[in-house]
Amino acid sequence: MDALVCLEPGRLAIETRPAPLRAEGEVLVRPRRVGICGTDYHIFEGKHPFLTYPRVMGHELAVEVVEAPTDSDFRSGEVVVVNPYLSCGRCIACRRGKPNCCTSIAVLGVHRDGGMTELLSLPPSNLLRADGLSLDACATVEFLAIGAHAVRRGMVTDADRVLVIGAGPIGLGVAIFARRNGAEVAIMDLDAARLNAAVRLAGARHGIVAGTESAAVAAATQGDGFDVVFDATGNRESIERGFDHVAAGGRYVLVSIVKGDITFTDADFHRREMTLLGSRNATSMDFETVMDAIRAGQVPVDQLITHRTTLSGAVRDIGTWASQKQGLIKAMIALD
């Protein structure tokens, strides 16, 4: 079978590999759509902090069931969504219902080979029925679930004013689900064109160009700051500046991750009695939340997918899109 492999930073190739056999108790699936995300671009660029090469990328997956155990509820030909976070089920996080931060988590396309290939064998617990969803919609569920999980972590309600910093796909997912919870949403980004697109797609009330935020944040909140601030930039300086935008008694949710330390002024943190939260990956509950929202017409899936390619075309296109992101929201690989 063919697999798209990142051999080393900046080098992609199609390799012929042996087709996997279905592992005992698992489901053999055929990827049909693979979303390309920031993680994949970071792997290509050599910027991912937790990766060894070579690696088959791809964790935003719509797959078709090829073969399932006889006692499984899944049937051949069925299209399902993949939760790519493979957890141990035994550690303290798993025992407490937080498999998204399992102490020995393996993420498809990062810690083990992912979905940019023709066949995979996966645990049935990582597959979710997707009745009523298109192939394209199924492949958007994972990145939107990260946003839905962050919003749940931030306990966002219709009483909150929310600021999302970073208008990429993850930030856009946060904004969409904060709005779904009834919050008044502002989005901040350096790129004015990307910001305007995110504001439109998420139905946000305010768009704030980074670098001019002090006056804009004050104007949007009558000088109070935002009840909940989310950072989805993956940029240390942005994360540190974000503390300034949180209202007294507010919450700050770090959705993105950086390798290294971040700092903040402790006296100011205590003066405002802020709550600082990390948000990692997503759970099956968040996947279900996203699928319900898509079925209800609350997510503009067709407008989120702006670029398309094939498995062989991605050898060229991933490198191009890693550096040329104008107009890019979500790129999708089709394996038909």
Q: What is the fold, at CATH topology level, of the domain defined by 155-278?
A: Rossmann fold (3.40.50)
- What one-character DSSP code corresponds to residue 125? G
* 50 pLDDT higher than 80: no
How much is the average pLDDT of 221-242? Answer: 96
What local confidence, expressed as pLDDT, does residue 64 receive? 98
* 49 pLDDT higher than 80: no
Hey, how many other C-beta atoms are within 10 angstroms of the C-beta on 52?
8
Q: What is the pLDDT of residues 274-286, one digit of tens each?
A: 999 999 999 999 9
What local confidence, expressed as pLDDT, does residue 173 receive? 98
- The torsion defined by the Cα of 108, 112, 116 and 120, in degrees rounded to 10, comes to -80
Return d(Cα 102, Cα 321) in angstroms, integer.
Answer: 32
What local confidence, expressed as pLDDT, does residue 214 receive? 79
Q: What proportion of the chain, given as a percentage, has pLDDT over 90?
A: 93
My answer on whether omega of the bond before 84 falls inside 30° of 0, hence cis, is no
CB distance 328 to 302 below 8 Å: no
| Highest CATH level, class, for 2-145+282-334 | alpha beta
Q: What is the pLDDT of residues 248-299, one digit of tens each?
A: 999 999 999 888 899 999 999 999 999 999 999 999 999 999 999 999 999 9
What local confidence, expressed as pLDDT, does residue 258 receive? 87
pTM for the predicted model, two decimal places: 0.95
Band of residue 3 on the pLDDT scale cut at 50, 70, 90: very high
- Residue 148 phi/psi, 5° resolution? -65, -40
Hey, how many other C-beta atoms are within 10 angstroms of the C-beta on 90?
11
What local confidence, expressed as pLDDT, does residue 165 receive? 98
Band of residue 120 on the pLDDT scale cut at 50, 70, 90: very high
Band of residue 213 on the pLDDT scale cut at 50, 70, 90: confident
Structure tokens at 150: 């962050």
* DSSP secondary structure of 252-283: EEE-S--SS-----HHHHHHTT-EEEE--S--
Q: What proportion of the chain, given as a percentage, has pLDDT over 70?
A: 100
Query: What are the domain boundaries of the chain?
Result: 2-145+282-334, 155-278
* 47 pLDDT higher than 80: yes
On average, the pLDDT of the chain sits at: 96
Return d(Cα 322, Cα 99) in angstroms, integer.
Answer: 30
> Among residues 103, 102, 110, which one has the least CA distance to residue 43?
110
How much is the average pLDDT of 13-25? Answer: 95
What local confidence, expressed as pLDDT, does residue 260 receive? 87
Q: What is the pLDDT of residues 310-319, one digit of tens each?
A: 999 999 999 9
Any idea how long the chain is? Answer: 336
What local confidence, expressed as pLDDT, does residue 221 receive? 95
What local confidence, expressed as pLDDT, does residue 211 receive? 84
